[in-house]
Amino acid sequence: MTNQLISRLPEDTNKTLHDTLLAFSSADNEIRTNAERYLFSNWIQSDSIETLLVFLAENSINASSNISQLSAVLYRKVALRSPVINRALSGENSSESSGSTLIAKNISSIPKTTLVEIRNILLHGFMDKELPSMLKHKVSDAISVTCLPELPDWPELIQTLFTTAILDTTSSSDIENTSNIIMKESSFRILSSAPHLVTKISIENTISLFKNGFNDESKASDDAVKVSAVTAFVNYFKEMDKSQWANLSVLLPDLLNSLPVFLDSGNDQALAAVIDPLIELVDIAPKLFKKMFDDIIRFCDYVIKDTNISSEARISALELISVFSERAPKMCSESDYYGTTAVFDCLLMISDIADDQESTEEWLEADDETPIYNEDKSEQGRQCLDNLSLKLGGVYLVPYLFKYIEQMLVSNDWREVYGALMGLSAAAEGSSNVLENDLVKLVEMVVPMINHPHPRVQFAACNTLGQFCTDFAPLIIEQCHQLIAPALISKINKNSCDRVCTHAAAAMVNFSEPASKDIMSLYMDDLLQGLSYLLIHPKKYIQEQGLTSIAYAASAAGKKFEKYYDSVMPALFDILASNGFKLETLDSEQKKMVGKCIESISIITASCGREKFEPYHQRYIEMLLTIQGQLEHADEEDAAVMNIKNRLEQCWARLCKLLKKDFVPLLKFVLPSLLATAKSGQTVSIIEEEEAEKYNQQGEWDIIQIHGKHIAIHTSILDDKVSAMELLIVYCLELKESFAPYVEEVMTEIAIESLDFYLHDGVRKTGAKLIPFLLQSLILNQQGIDQIIPLWSLAADKLVDGLSNEPVPDVVMVYHDVLSHCMELLGGDYMSASQLSEYAEGTNKNLSELYERVNQRHSDGDLFIEKEDDDLEIEDINDEEILDEINKSLATIFKFEKEKFLPVYALMFEQVLKFLAHELSFMAIFSLVSISDMILYSGQYSGEFKNLFMERIISYLLHIEPAIRQGASYCIGCCATSAPSVYMDSCMAAMNNLIKIISDPASKSDDNNMATENAAASIAKILSVYKPEQANEVLKFWIKSFPIIEDKEAAAYNYKFLADLIKQKNPVILNDLSNVVHYAILAVAHASINDKVAQYVFGALKEAVLEVPAEEVDKLFSKYDDETRALISKYFN
């Protein structure tokens, strides 16, 4: 070999490792296994890993070696492998050391001298022009893991790559061109995997580098250089600071101009390979493409319409159209061309299905879960149209949609009719705001298609009606049930093909969910007649759909299903018995039927109640216990058995709700397996890159990349863990004190432990939510506080620690909610000083992060990314909910700690003041509520903070936002009642602004009324507490703020003060007695005040009325109707 390197290793080492790697290729499985075991146990160890990596590097670049490619592949795997023997981490041993194990790599652990040696070897091989293309690629991949960001710089590599990446590929020498093409493509291949290398050079040189790659003129049939250059550019772009993006935009024309070249050369594979990274680029910086937007859509449209182009390229083009709608909806909605093109292309792709008899027969024999060959384009069209609808909305999309839909529905080509129907169902959800204005016409357009000659059109009609029932619920059921239900039911019989029959039954599930009991009862006879046909069908999946549809129909009909109960239930028991209870003898279809059958029986039973269930009670429970006993030793790898287990657990929970305390004897059978599931650990495995796709296809694992490694997380186990904990909450709620014997085990081994599961947000949230229900079981069991507090203390330690360390805001919100819930349950001061301190530290961090998050979100417009108003609003609402929970936990602590909490609260008060000054109302309202609670619960001791907020709060009484005026008014009221001596000057200073609130001509409008009522309450509190000389003048304004009926807390104080004034014979009030009586009557009519306050108010009025002439009294009450007079009589008597 040219430029052959002399090995650095002893000959015997080379021979031993060479023979070992040769054994990897053996056809004998035992030889291969032994070789792998030997390599792992003897060479992938801390004392020999350097030697192995050097050997693999040397052999990777030796083209004449029979182990060169294997050496390169193994080098990459071994280099990235953690220098820890155990590659799988479970919940029992996951800790900080385990986390670092995931990140650590052999290549990062070897001495620098060895790293330099390996780098020189690999770079020498990379520069070898005679190295074959396939081996050069593998050496490039080996180089990529030898220049990871955490490793020392490698200037020689950077210099080499920025020479080889711009090699001439157009010379007259074919040999030189071929060599340069391989070298050039491999250079970009490395830069794609190691984009941080590009950041080491100037932006000018970077632009020159990529421009050369995009415009490569080599005659290689696969356009490999262009493809690798585009991929490298996108990965580099993702690494770059956003401030540099504008500088890189000059490259976009060159990048996009390369796309037609692939079309001209007929290289569909390369076209798809370039569009895919382009999709990533649009996802990152969509507005970067604004000037060339229509050109990109036009190109994609051309690709999609050309049916001679590969499906892969056409699907990629449609995904590119779709990603613009997701990331730049404003840009899309401003383009008429985008709307008409995108909708047409989606409908075209949906309709792009085979029309031959063989394909139709294949479809007829399949079920809904069976993928049909070459129909991925149709599915992609539906997904794209769904995205367009959701992101662009019906106002924009519907005109374009109906530009084509109505023509397609009357087409002689059944595929166009199918495309129109499936397109309608895809667009329904996002366009519901427009389409629901004419639902009857829409449904009348679809219903006739249910009798179309082609079964796939019938299927599409059922699908569309079912989707409508979900997306337009409940309005469509109310307006169109008489059109939809008969149409769907008409297809549930032996005259329909199996696919249509089952899909019509499935659509009736969608119909049933939002339907009222009265509407369901109209169709139950015909529906059950049709579904009974499904139950006796020889195909199990059809029986299964029958069971599902009956269960949902029963759930919707409720007690109205009782008349069918005694005819349906025996049929279900017969199906269950016919499949058998010995799980090991059943095939997967029979197991699915068993699971579905026990589920359906439980749903129907829950709908009709315990009395109807009683005759079947014993038999059903015996069946369930028979199955339960077998599950304890079942194969966890058997998906069908695990499906039975999951359904059975839900059945037990439904029975628990039905039987209440009578369920307790069953717990000893039910809980062991449920607790085992709830105790599941988090399983994490480091896998090879080529294994990732296999794990992804299983659907039970999530694959993430951390520092170049592929980490597989067994999420299905964690999902089951969440479900199990949710069921434990059900048992706590339903069984109350009877669940107490299990509380300690569940609290310590499940709920608290779950808060460490950082790989699954749902586990942490559900585990936290379980805690208060467990405490409640103990409290209801009348256990002493001394027995409860140790468990609470363990939970509180974990929760307050989570406030500081939890990375997900939604989970933080749950922790705050759980803390306040638990403290309210315990009803006392049961948090230690250290827990309070940690709580304050964590809450301060939560507030700081939220503040920064909100400011970042509302910062000035981004040059590259659209900020959708709807998205901003949703994110603001989410953060507002988090602030509400933080306030709730703060208020609960203040409630029990009183002024003792002030020194801790002071640690976060700087944040509270920052929020108070924020321009967004929900941010300021957080502070207003928090400060009000501080004053309410710490009283005069809050005075030390007074000068930091009082002036702003008084000014906020005249704020433009009604919610801020309301919060400020409430705060002033707290000042008056909770610390009158401290806040007297502030309260009196606020009076004029409070009067302005209630005197405003629009003070009683829907927007302003809550602020007005709170301002009135604060005036009442100030007048009641301080009794100022000018009180009667203020009362003239105050009484005009009545009636107070919306805010019950404000109403209670206002009306109580009103009664006091009546009792005091205040002339301002008594002079307006007719209106005062009316205000009081409105308050009780609207249930704005409770009976106690009402009796106090009417007691005072009764005394006042006694002094009024009889004819005047009659006049007071004559204007009311009989119902209101009866209410008046109730309180006056």
Q: How far apart are CA 494 and CA 530, in angstroms?
A: 9
What would the pLDDT profile of 354-400 be if each residue is shown by its tens digit? 998 999 999 999 888 877 788 899 999 999 999 999 999 999 999 99
Do residues 120 and 55 share a domain?
Answer: yes
The answer to whether residues 195 and 279 belong to one domain is: yes
**Structural domain contains residue 234:** yes
Query: What amino acid is encoded at 295 in this protein?
Result: D
Q: Which residue has the higher pLDDT, 977 or 95?
A: 977
pLDDT higher than 60, residue 647: yes
For a pLDDT cut of 90, what percent of the chain falls above it?
75
**Cβ proximity of 743 and 794 under 8 Å:** no
Task: State mean pLDDT over 566-570.
Answer: 91
pLDDT tens column, 888-918: 999 999 999 999 999 999 999 999 999 999 9
Question: What is the predicted pLDDT for the residue at 777?
Answer: 97
Distance between the two ends of the chain, CA-based, in angstroms? 112
Structure tokens at 238: 């993702």
Tokens matching residue 33: 């296994």
Phi, psi dihedrals of residue 264, rounded to the nearest 5°: -65, -35
Residue 945 lies in a domain: no
Alpha carbon distance 581, 388 (integer Å):
48
Assess if residue 732 is contained within a domain.
no
Which residue range(s) make up the domain with 1122?
1042-1133
- Quote the Cα angle for 270-123-35, to 5°: 85
Compute how many other C-beta atoms are within 10 angstroms of the C-beta atom of residue 564: 19
What is the predicted pLDDT for the residue at 883? 98
160-187 pLDDT, tens digit each: 999 999 998 887 788 888 899 999 999 9
Candidates 631, 610, 615; CA nearest to 570 is: 615
pLDDT of 607: 92
Residue 688 has pLDDT above 90, yes or no: no
| Same domain membership, residue 268 and residue 200 | yes
The two three-digit tokens of residue 370, written as one number:
């069976």
Instruction: Give the best-scoring range by mean pLDDT among 240-244, 400-404, 779-783.
Output: 400-404
In single-letter form, the type of residue at position 922 comes to F
Per-residue pLDDT tens for 458-486? 999 999 999 999 999 999 999 999 999 99
Tell me whether residue 970 is in a domain.
no
Q: Are residues 191 and 140 in the same domain?
A: no
Q: What is the pLDDT of residue 864?
A: 65
Tokens of 10: 């002893």
CB-based contacts of 1069, cutoff 8 Å, min separation 6: 1035, 1039, 1058, 1061, 1062, 1076
Q: Answer yes or no: is 829 within a domain.
A: no
Predicted local distance difference test score (pLDDT) of residue 708: 63
Compute the average pLDDT of residues 654-667: 95
Domain boundary among 284, 303, 326: 284
Residue 521: name the closest of 558, 490, 551, 493 by CA.
558
Residue pair 215/166 in contact (Cβ under 8 Å)? The answer is: no
Q: Which residues pair with 687 in a beta bridge?
A: 710
| Shared-domain flag, residues 120 and 202 | no
pLDDT at 1128: 83
Coil, strand or helix at 791: helix
pLDDT band at 1093 (very low <50, low <70, confident <90, very high): very high
- Distance between CA atoms of 722 and 713, rounded to whole angstroms? 15
Q: Give yes or no: residues 75 and 175 share one domain.
A: no
Looking at residue 92, its pLDDT comes to 40
1037 falls within a domain: no
Residue 450 has pLDDT above 60, yes or no: yes
Q: Return mean pLDDT, the chain.
A: 91
Q: Do β-strands 709-713 and 702-706 pair in parallel, antiparallel, or remain unpaired? A: antiparallel
pLDDT band at 102 (very low <50, low <70, confident <90, very high): low
Residues 156 and 190 grouped into a single domain = yes
Confidence label for 90 from pLDDT (cuts 50, 70 and 90): very low
Name residue 704's beta-bridge partners: 711
Task: Give the chain's count of helices (H) and strands (E).
Answer: 58, 4
End-of-domain residue from the set 224, 257, 284:
284
- Domain boundary residue among 678, 696, 720? 678
- Asked if residue 120 and residue 224 are part of one domain, the reply reads no
Are 492 and 504 in contact by the 8 Å Cβ rule? The answer is: yes
Strand partners, 684: 89, 713
pLDDT in tens, 209-225: 999 999 988 876 678 89
| C-beta pairs of 972-975 under 8 Å, 24+ apart in sequence | 972/1018, 972/1022, 973/1014, 973/1017, 973/1018, 973/1021, 973/1022, 973/1053, 974/932, 974/935, 974/936, 975/935
Phi-psi region of 1027 (alpha: psi -120 to 50; beta: other; left: phi over 0): left
Q: How confident is the model at residue 689 (pLDDT cuts 50, 70, 90)?
A: low
Q: List residues bridging with 703 in a β-sheet.
A: 712
| 335 in any annotated domain | no
Do the domain assignments include residue 1006? Answer: no
Question: Per-residue pLDDT averaged across 247-272, rounded?
Answer: 88
The yes-or-no verdict on residue 2 having pLDDT over 50 is no
Q: Residue 796's Cα: distance from chain center in Å?
A: 27
**745 near 794, Cβ under 8 Å?**
no
Element (H, E) at 79: helix 68-80
On whether both 137 and 157 belong to a single domain, the answer is no
Which pLDDT band holds residue 1126 (cuts at 50, 70, 90)? confident
Model confidence at 88, pLDDT cuts 50, 70, 90, reads: very low
- Give the span between the Cα atoms of 719 and 337, in whole angstroms: 44
pLDDT at 97 over 60: no
DSSP conformation letters of 269-325: HHHHHHHHHHHHHHHH-GGGGGGGHHHHHHHHHHHHH-TTS-HHHHHHHHHHHHHHH
Q: DSSP of 563-608, one letter per residue?
A: HHHHHHHHHHHHHHHHH-S-GGG--HHHHHHHHHHHHHHHHHHHHH
Mean pLDDT, residues 1114-1133: 82
The number of distinct structural domains making up the chain is 4
Q: Is 68 found in the same domain as 55?
A: yes
Q: What is the pLDDT of residues 935-962, one digit of tens each?
A: 999 999 999 999 999 999 999 999 999 9
Long-range contacts of the stretch 944-949 (C-beta < 8 A, 24+): 944/902, 945/906, 945/909, 946/982, 946/983, 946/986, 948/909, 948/913, 949/913, 949/916
Same-domain pairing of 57 and 165: no
Same domain for 197 and 75 = no
Angle between helix 946-956 and helix 962-978 axes, rounded to 10 deg? 130
pTM of the model: 0.87
